[in-house]
Structure 1
Amino acid sequence: MPIVHTRELVEAAVAAGTGVAAFNVITLEHAEAVAEGAERAGRPAILQISENAVRFHGGRLSPIAAATAAVARASTAPLGLHLDHVVTPGLLEAAPGEGFGSVMFDASVLPYDENVAVTAKMAAYGHRHGIWVEAELGRVGGKEGEPALDAHAPGVRTDPDEATGYVAKTGVDALAVAVGSSHAMTERTAALDHGLIRRLREAVPVPLVLHGSSGVPDDEIRAAIAAGMVKINVGTALNTAFTAAVRKSLAARPDTVDPRKHLAPAREAMAGTVADFLGLLPVR
């Protein structure tokens, strides 16, 4: 099936009053697992590659992007392709040529005025090239290379009034907001501020994005979608499933050196995780 533009997937979710899940891709097995899980669930999904993942692949976007796009095209599920947590303008500028429908440009560590200025510039570039642009306001902690950040600390969460001005000034198509989740959580214990999500939904004219969803319990995810979240990002949950399966395989067959024997159960575990997360999304 042709790759579906992220805008189409998000707009369809908004119209249906549900969410669309976006899963981080690090290896080919991640991409294959997302496609398989989406097919099992009978739901669309977004495959997203972060700048950190590009860095892991030697700073070369093309190989992992081409492989992920090929998996998406070979799938029977509607799948989009998204470039996530981009902090380098040059990487965003490479996105159109690599088949991405959307980019999340992350200037959230910058002071507000600087965040606005650089994000507006990147959004304008993206729009000229058919790219749907997501940004972040507030601080969703747990990102690689950043100091630990308490998701409940004062000043961390996204302010609705500030978010309204931010979207107007930058022209972004979606906004990732800080409402109590955190990246890289391996336990699902996050408690979200659903009242804040509702206020943000009322204040902001673009779809809201929940980062750090791996650490959010099932009922919290459902409630977040009901309150106004649309794009639900999942990354660490796949890595947790991958690593647990590899450890189990290595323990059971310590003398096996063929990596396929260990990667196959890891891919299957991730596919199951994808299907489970997609099963949380309301069907209207």
Structure 2
Amino acid sequence: MRVGKHFVDRDVLLGLDRARAALPAGPRPGLTLLRRFLDCALDKWDGRYDYHSYLALPVLSTALEGIGEITPGRARRHRDRRYLHLLTDLLRFELDVEAGRTDLLPGQRPDRDRLTKRLRLAVRAAQPVLARLSPLTTITATDPVAAAAEVCAAVDATTAERRDLRLSMLPVYVVHDEYLFLRVLQSYETTFALLVVLLRAARDALLRGPPRPPPSTSPPRPGRWPARGCCSPCWPPCSPSRSAPSGRTRRGPAPSSRTATNWWSRSAGHRTGNGWTARPTTLRPRCGSGSWPGS
């Protein structure tokens, strides 16, 4: 748009309105973007001018809808490319104004110092994203004007991406700084859209819960895990053949005194300076449940 929305001729607005009304209803390939652009360009004509139409956010969101399933990885890459394209478009506009190659938005041009500061800050904001998308690209120039030119030369864009940039610049007035204002706000909104995708992914991960480990198919090693009826791992393994409480029949040979001292006396003994000492008492079950192992 060569002039702001305030200065568009009425006949032009009427012609755009008629063209929009002639569009076929329903979603059609290639017509969704055109309809959204006309809605943003005619927002003042329709009396529904707002923040979204001013920034042409429906136009910018069309590309994101065409990438298929919006995963965090795809959304992050889309944000980086869109963010970099918005910044480089701003850099090109400022460089063209400095070189006298454009007369777009001629009101209140910035002085040389302010222009240099803008270029320096825009280059600094673009470098981290450029490093992620193109790790081999480095900006070597120290002069802000030369560094801005290097960034613009290093960033590539498809035909569709360049078209979206042109259609999303819809100022309302003819002041130079409105170009900067629009691109900065659009960059913020692009980042906010990525945050929404990441927050939804985090919410879904919390609802699913932590991943469960697959069930083990290997049998337990003999003598390592507790036998039937035991409530905790122990060594030697609890079994009905080890010992039995009074009044029950013992199965198998009785444990040796050394085994009974080293193993069973720990649960029924007391601590001394030299270690554990057996206390003359009846052997009790190892398990904390009160039931005899294997019973």
* Length-normalised TM-score, structure 2: 0.23
Q: Which has the larger radius of gyration?
A: 2
More strand by share: 1
| Greater relative contact order (CA < 8 Å, ≥ 6 in sequence) | 1
